[in-house]
Amino acid sequence: MFPLGSASLPGSVLTLHVFEPRYRALVRDCLAAAEPEFGVVMIERGREVGGGDVRSGVGAVARMLRVSETDDGPYAVIAGVGRRIRVREWLPDNPYPYADVDDWPDDATLAVDEQRLQTVVTRVRRAASVALQLGDPVADPDMALSADATVATFQLGGLAPLADLDRQRLLCASGPGERLALLEEMLDTVDDVLAFRLQD
């Protein structure tokens, strides 16, 4: 497991600079495994270094796509974030964090209304464009979205200019329909904040 200070949503790409010895060991162990995967969860409070952190019980599996070792030892890792997981129990570090986890697929009965999805897509792209205009670090507002509603709603959560705690709430939604409803609520606040910032 690799606890992070940010929320990682399925369908996103994770870039890591791995310098701490125990996480360099995690990278080596993953590269030696048949499936170079590891779990990622958000640190909700505190800092992972030194202990005392509070980690989310919901995360995702990241699969290493490219790994390179720098001259001074750290690894540069690019990983694709895939399926959701729930942490059943945190296990003792050895030397990096371990957890007993279960896959947590979306509830397939919580369907998405296509027209509603397209309305949210338009709102997210507009908000991302304004945030980009204001100099915020956001993804390309015109990025292609998956035809799969489950993946698309996660991608929209990554594209929208949201705080990490809001992204974590989206990660914890039961299915794409609930995630879309949450996004609509969040966008109301996002639109108000962006409009206020544009007045300056």
Can you list the domains of the chain with their CATH numbers?
2-103 (2.30.130.40), 114-199 (1.20.58)
For the beta carbon of residue 76, count every other beta carbon within 10 angstroms: 14
| pLDDT at position 43 | 93
82 Cβ neighbours under 8 A, 6+ residues apart: 10, 37, 60, 61, 62, 63
Looking at residue 149, what is its pLDDT?
86
- Indicate the pTM of the whole model: 0.89
For helices 176-199 and 114-133, the axis angle rounded to 10 degrees is 30
pLDDT by residue for the chain (200 residues), tens only, comes to 999 999 999 999 999 999 999 999 999 999 999 999 999 999 988 765 555 678 999 999 999 999 998 777 799 999 999 999 999 999 999 999 999 999 999 887 667 889 999 999 999 999 999 999 999 999 899 999 998 888 899 999 999 999 999 999 999 999 999 999 999 999 999 999 999 999 87
Residues 100, 89 contacting (CB under 8 angstroms): yes
What pLDDT is stored for residue 52 in this prediction? Answer: 64
Return the pLDDT at 44: 86
Cβ–Cβ < 8 Å for 143, 159 = yes
> Using CA atoms, how far apart are residues 9 and 58, in angstroms rounded to an integer?
11
Contact call for residues 21 and 168 (beta carbons, < 8 A): no
Alpha-carbon dihedral of residues 132, 158, 11, 125, nearest 10 degrees?
A: -50
- pLDDT reported for residue 54: 86
Contact present, 138 and 128 (Cβ < 8 Å): yes
Measured in whole angstroms, the distance separating CA 113 from the mean position of its chain's CA atoms is: 24
Q: Find out whether 128 and 119 touch, Cβ atoms under 8 Å.
A: no
Residue 28 φ/ψ, nearest 5 degrees: -60, -40
Query: Which residues partner with 142 through β-bridges?
Result: none
Amino acid of residue 130: V
Amino acid at the residue 118: Q
Question: What does the pLDDT read at residue 51?
Answer: 56
